A and B are shown apart, each in its own frame.
Chain A
Amino acid sequence: MRWTKYLIWLTAAAAVYGIVYLLAHVGIVSRFFLLTMVQICIYIIMALGLNLITGFTGQLSIGHAGFMSIGAYATGIFVVTFGKPVSAALTELWGDRGVTDVAYYIFILTSLAVGALAAALFGLLLGLPTLRLRGDYLAIATIGFGEIVRIVLLNTKALGGASGLPVKQSVDWATAYWLMLLSVVLVYNFVNSSHGRACISIRENEIAAETMGINTTKYKVMAFALGACFAGLAGGIYANHMYLVHPNSFGFLKSFEILVMVVLGGLGSVTGCILGAAVMTIMNNVLAPFPELRMIIISVLLVVMMIFRPNGLMGATELRLPFRRASATGAEEGSGHDL
């Protein structure tokens, strides 16, 4: 039963890929559409990571863009430093053949992994001491962390400082799309595992969870590191797609934006944060012709949304295939939790 469900989702995902690929190949969809798609993928991965921390484990974090910038810079530096020699060595080894491209592609994927790992490391480092803090205190500490990262990057000449770090574009929309799907599957499986349930129990009631023998510190740090890891991956895709990594692209406004996506979609819902990220990114691009009014409209929508549907579009529920409703688990009970 589980497998048929996976199969349906996989077919749907492959179908979307196929349609977009075909349209892009024929030239019906524009570059801007593909860029929007990459942006949506990046933000979905970001939102998934933050959802692990804030939505499932209940730890309020407003410094997520800080992890993204660490991932983006780590990937960027890796590619800038090793890109040319690796490419030269590969060409020497195999010449101008397909195998060279494949090997270089693997190198780029490695660079993404480097970004993700670097961010996860920082997530661990930040998580260990600050997870003693609760709620708003944690939130403000994470804002502080994000700002510190930005200021350090701005002040570091070796990383480009205020002019940013130019990186060649080597990740296309398809890679971003498949990595996004991979992230969704990973997160979905994590939250439905015993680890995930431990995290949810911390969100629902930390003291009760501890009483039940759950090592709350371990799971909180785990969620933090994992969340940071996804942010780092998103940052890596950003670096490899957007030509330039600049410290001010990852300010605390970006962190807010991600938080808004997660809350809008529904805390503690994987499909919710996909929806939230997509809706926010698309809204941003649809409203682009009205630059002065765009942010006013978004902010009013946000306030109205919070007043009338404070748990986000999806709450803590998942979007399910209608005919598979019988297999729904008890995860839907979790709405209305308090942070």
Chain B
Amino acid sequence: MNSRKKRTLCTLMLLLCGALILAGCGTTTPPAQPSGNTPAAGGGEPAAGEPINVGFNLELTGSSAEFGLSGQNGMKLAFDKVNAEGGVLDGRLFNYISADNKSEAGEATSATTRLVGENVVAILGPMTTAAVLGSIQLVTDNSVVLITPSGTNARLTINEDGTLNPWIFRACFIDPFQGEVAANFALDALGAQTAAIAYDIVGDYSVGLAESFKTTFEAAGKTVVSEERFSAGDTDFRPIIENIKATNPDVIFVPAYYNDDGRFVAQARDAGLTVPILGGDGWGSGDMVGIAGAENMNNTYYVDFVSIDDPSLAEFVSEYEAAYGRAPDGFSVLGYDSALMLIEAVKKAGGIEDPEALRAALENLGEFTGVSGTMSIDPETHNPAKSAVILEFVDGVKVFKQKVDPK
């Protein structure tokens, strides 16, 4: 290549670079995602006011994409329903803007920054704890409420020094509650003297549940004989199952998500471990029976919010299936509920112009009924208090076992 050609090429590249940079600035102004509901799309009725912008900061690609997409489906369903009914506050419709955080904490910060720049009044998501942690400072600085559907870590709303993060809310249980419920069930209903725990160290959720289970179980004077760790996405659990088997526990607690735990249960049963296996609400988020096999799932129990087979949920389930062609899972339920929380708060605040009013409305939401049961938001901790149920798998069907009310 002669130098003249080279120079032309360099100039071209420079131009291209400049154009891209300009395009980069450009993206900050138009809506980030062509969302389903602009005011005009709301059944042709003229909207009475400006649309209400809500941002979704979700795991749309990457390792947790399955959960993020489910959550998004639930949220969209809730907003579409409200919009179809004419919106809130005399005809104001919700306009949602979706941002992908690639299942990574740094990208979640980036997505939040982008949404804040779009002047959203609230952010729903992310689904995972680490991704929420990266957004707390940003939403606090910009007075935007953030409702995480499934970030269970207690530290999200309450800092380590005991102070409240005023702008963070959640629609799910916190880790300690579920772990306690599971441990008490193991102690009282199953009469366990010894327990084994296997948890996923990559998932903050799993670590939190395992810790609180252990604390409660040991506080009752019983022993945790074996603690095994794995990483989400592992396929082979046989080595750690053999370790657990060698310690002969009365019960095994495996608080991770359904796909890892489905494999775990199947492999544990294959290895001849017939003792009861317990799990957290991560089990309810997918087709666990399909993975583990109906027979292997016998004698397993898990903590959930209201069972998805509850008759009061039938309406939600049928609407969800009509919209997406598949059954909802735990994440879509929580996504739907976090959207409902926001809608209620907007109605209660009577407007969105004052972010502090919206925040206060969420904080003092009081008793509130979503698809995951009736809950009340504690103004002190921003955690929803809602009852948990324990379900048992009998030949692949979830059977109600007991209900535990919040303290």
| Touching chains A and B, CB distance < 8 Å | yes
| Chain A contacts to B: CB under 8 angstroms | 29-33, 35-36, 39, 154-155, 161-164, 166, 168-169, 238, 242-244, 246, 248-249, 275, 278-279, 282-283, 285-286, 288-289, 291-292, 294-295, 313-314, 317, 319, 322, 325
| A279 with B61: CB separation less than 8 A | no
Instruction: Find residues 187-222 in chain B having any chain A CB closer than 8 Å to their own CB.
Output: 201-204, 207
Residues of B within 8 A of A30 (CB): 28, 117
> Looking at the complex, which one of A244, A282, A295, A325 makes contact with B134 (CB distance below 8 Å)?
A244
List 3 tightest A-B contacts by C-beta distance, closest first: A291-B100, A244-B134, A30-B117
What are 23 A-B pairs at a CB distance below 8 A? A29-B25, A30-B28, A31-B116, A32-B113, A33-B25, A39-B110, A155-B201, A162-B204, A163-B133, A164-B105, A243-B109, A243-B135, A244-B109, A248-B104, A248-B202, A249-B105, A275-B13, A278-B21, A282-B21, A288-B32, A291-B61, A295-B61, A319-B13
Known A-B contacts A166-B133, A244-B134, A317-B6; the reply to A285 vs B201 at CB < 8 A is no
Consensus secondary structure, chain A interface: helix
CB-based contact B7/A322 at 8 Å:
yes
Which A-chain residue is minimally distant from B231 (CB atoms)?
A154
Interface residues of B in 70-129 (CB under 8 A from A): 98-100, 102, 104-106, 109-111, 113-114, 116-117, 129
Q: Which residues of B contact A288 (CB under 8 A)?
A: 27, 32, 99-100, 111, 114
Q: Mark B235-271, 1 if CB is under 8 A from A, else 0.
A: 0000000000000000000000000000000000000
CA distance A31 to B133 in the complex (A): 19
Identify the closest chain B residue to A72 (Cβ): B106
Q: Which residues of A contact B133 (CB under 8 A)?
A: 163-164, 166, 243-244
Tell me which of B13, B60, B104, B111 contacts A292 (CB under 8 A): B60
What is the bound-complex CA distance between A242 and B155, given in angstroms? 18
Which A residues are in CB contact (< 8 Å) with B25?
A: 29, 33
Q: In the complex, which of the residues A31, A317, A319 contacts B117, with contact meaning CB atoms closer than 8 Å?
A: A31
CA distance A294 to B27 in the complex (A): 15
**Please, how many angstroms separate the alpha-carbon atoms of A168 and B100 in the complex?**
24
The residue on B at minimum CB distance from A295 is: B61
Verify A313–B13 contact, CB threshold 8 A. yes
Smallest CB-CB separation from B111: which chain A residue? A288
**What is the minimal beta-carbon distance from A261 to any residue of chain B, in angstroms?**
13
A279 CA to B21 CA, complexed, in Å: 8
Residues of A within 8 Å of B135, CB to CB, are: 243
Bound form: Cα–Cα A154–B232 in Å: 12
Residue among B21, B114, B153 making CB contact with A32, cutoff 8 Å? B114
The answer to whether A162 touches B109, judged by C-beta atoms less than 8 angstroms apart, is: no
Interface centre among B106, B110, B129 (most CB of A within 10 A): B106
Q: Check if A168 sits within 8 Å of B105, measured CB to CB.
A: no
Assuming the contacts A155-B201, A248-B104, A286-B23, asked whether A314 and B138 have C-beta atoms less than 8 A apart, the reply is no
- Which residues of chain A have C-beta atoms less than 8 A from B7's C-beta? 322, 325
Cα(A83)–Cα(B193), bound, Å: 46
- Taken residue by residue from 1 to 44, chain B's Cβ proximity to chain A (1 for < 8 Å, 0 otherwise) reads as 00100110010011011001101110110001110000000000
Supplied contacts A166-B133, A285-B27, A289-B34, 4 more A-B pairs, CB within 8 Å: A35-B110, A243-B109, A291-B102, A294-B61
Alpha-carbon distance A242/B32, docked complex (angstroms): 21
Instruction: Give the complex CA separation of A295 and B10 in angstroms.
Output: 27
Interface size on B, residues (CB 8 A): 50
Is B137 interfacial (CB-CB < 8 Å)?
A: yes
Contacts of A162 in B (CB 8 A): 130, 201-204, 207
* Bound-complex Cα distance A30 to B27 (A): 10
List B residues at the A interface (Cβ < 8 Å). 3, 6-7, 10, 13-14, 16-17, 20-21, 23-25, 27-28, 32-34, 60-61, 98-100, 102, 104-106, 109-111, 113-114, 116-117, 129-130, 133-138, 153, 155, 201-204, 207, 231
The 8 Å CB contact of B27, one of A279, A289, A292, is A289
Q: Is the CB of B13 within 8 A of A314?
A: yes
In the assembled complex, the Cα of A29 lies from the Cα of B113 at a distance in Å of 13
How many pairs of A and B residues are in contact by the CB < 8 Å rule?
129
Contact B61 A243 (CB under 8 A): no
Q: Say which residue of B10, B21, B104 sits within 8 Å of A319 (CB atoms).
A: B10
CB distance from B358 to the nearest CB of A (A): 20
Closest to B208 in A: A163
**Smallest beta-carbon distance A21→chain B, Å:** 15
The answer to whether residues A248 and B28 also contact, given A163-B155, A164-B133, A317-B6 and a CB cut-off of 8 A, is no
Q: B20 contacts which chain A residues (CB < 8 A)?
A: 278-279, 282-283, 286
| A33-B22 Cα distance, complex, nearest whole Å | 10
Q: What are the residues of chain B within 8 A of A163 when measuring CB–CB?
A: 129-130, 133, 153, 155, 204, 207
Complex: A295 Cα to B27 Cα, angstroms: 18
Q: Are B6 and A246 in contact (CB under 8 A)?
A: no
- Residues of chain A contacted by B24 (CB below 8 angstroms): 33, 36, 282, 285-286
Knowing A286-B20, A313-B13, A314-B10, the reply to whether A33 touches B28 (Cβ < 8 A) is yes
Which residues of B sit under 8 angstroms from A161, Cβ to Cβ?
201, 207
CB closest residue in chain A, given B34: A289
B328 to chain A, nearest CB (A): 21
Q: Which residues of the other chain, B, contact A325 by a CB distance below 8 angstroms?
A: 3, 7
Partner of B17, one of A238, A279, A294: A279
Which residue on chain A has the smallest CB distance to residue B138?
A243
Provide the bound-state CA to CA distance between A256 and B169, in Å: 36
Q: Which residues of B contact A155 (CB under 8 A)?
A: 201
Chain A: which residue is nearest B229 at the CB level? A155
Contacts of B114 in A (CB 8 A): 32, 288
Q: How far is the CA of A285 from the CA of B23 in the complex (A)?
A: 10
A246–B109 CA distance with the chains assembled, in angstroms? 12
Cα separation A162 to B201 with both chains bound (whole Å): 6
- The CA of A314 and the CA of B61, in the complex, are separated in Å by 31
**Cβ contacts under 8 Å, A285 to chain B:** 24, 27, 110
Taken together as a complex, chains A and B put the C-alpha atoms of A42 and B123 apart, in Å, by 27
A169 to B153, CA, bound (A): 22
Expressed in whole angstroms, the minimum distance between the Cβ of A131 and any Cβ of chain B is 30
